[in-house]
Structure 1
């Protein structure tokens, strides 16, 4: 993830982890808009790469910490989200393993974008309000999410540094 994306994220709001997820959602929306509106091939490819990176990290954060911690609020809905994540994760991997610069990849990316926007809407309109109404202390979940995200960012930085050394 590039520095601009990290700076836009700001400090992790441990007492309001839903806000961190919404911030990610908003970043995805901005990147999708940039991808769809930019006509420069290079800028489109950069936005596409950032979309994939952010979705991969966001998905790991939700699957690894958030969903297990809030499953009891609506187990059926969390199961539905996990199924959506699996489909999205498969698309992300397919796109990362290929070239983003061909017709098939553009179709897969558009499919991923459509799925993601639908998923974001479901989380924000259906699940997050339920979670807020449950009135549970979100700080322990937020602390776990903060630590998990810090580890993801650290691992990604190490991978980037290793790729840089190999070139």
Structure 2
């Protein structure tokens, strides 16, 4: 391949999101899905939204636990924020297990989705106000980390769809 052709191939490649931007985009997507759930009227629509919420949260938690958290923990020499986030993920996974692949059956189902939504909001707020600002002050290569997260996310999503 000649040099000009190589450059044009690179120009068409989508720009890599840095790690924090990628994770924030995930947070916005899930918040939007929870909002859609609030206004959903049919069990079919609710079930579809919950399936997507569970998939997005599961993949997001996995890429954070496998890639983001270990690097952040090391870079920050953290013994508090990351372990707390991992414990919060365990609770989220438990709530997901209670609603995933379950038929929407009234108020208890809606209550579990509501609690999951509130728990996710709490977790996101802590990440965005406590962890992310500290990560930005480290020497971590957030673009390379974003690329690593995006590749793993794509791999996990392709297995789930």
Sort the TM-score into its range (normalised by shorter chain).
0.7 to 0.9
Could you tell me which residue of structure 1 aligns to residue 105 of structure 2?
101
1:13 is the counterpart of 2:16: yes
Deviation of the 1:52 alpha carbon:
1.2
**CA deviation vs aligned residue, 1:124-146 (integer Å, no higher than 9, x gap):** 11111111122422233223212
Name the CA distance, whole Å, in 2 between partners of 1:45 and 1:154: 21
- Please say if 1:141 is aligned against 2:151: no
Aligned-partner Cα distance in 2 for 1:96–1:149: 20
Q: Whose relative contact order is higher, 1 or 2, with alpha carbons under 8 Å and at least 6 apart?
A: 2
Aligned with residue 121 of structure 2, among 117, 120, 126: 117
Distance (whole Å) between structure 2 residues aligned to residue 146 and residue 12 of structure 1:
11
Q: What whole-Å deviation, never above 9, does each CA across 1:67-125 have from its counterpart, x for those lacking one?
A: 11111223310000000000001111221153233432222211111100110111111
1:61 aligned to 60, 63, 70, which one? 63
In structure 2, what is the equivalent of residue 47 of structure 1? 49
Q: CA deviation at 1:12?
A: 7.2
Partner of 1:24: 26
Moved more, 94-103 or 113-122: 94-103
Q: TM-score, normalised by structure 2?
A: 0.81
Which piece of structure 1 moves more, 23-32 or 45-54?
A: 45-54
TM-score under structure 1 normalisation? Answer: 0.78
2-side partners of 1:152 and 1:47: how far apart? 19
- Segments of structure 1 that go 5 or more residues without pairing to the other structure are 1-10, 158-167
Aligned length: 146
Q: Structure 2 regions of 5+ residues with no counterpart?
A: 1-13
Q: Cα RMSD (Å) of the superposition? A: 1.9
Q: Which has the larger radius of gyration?
A: 2
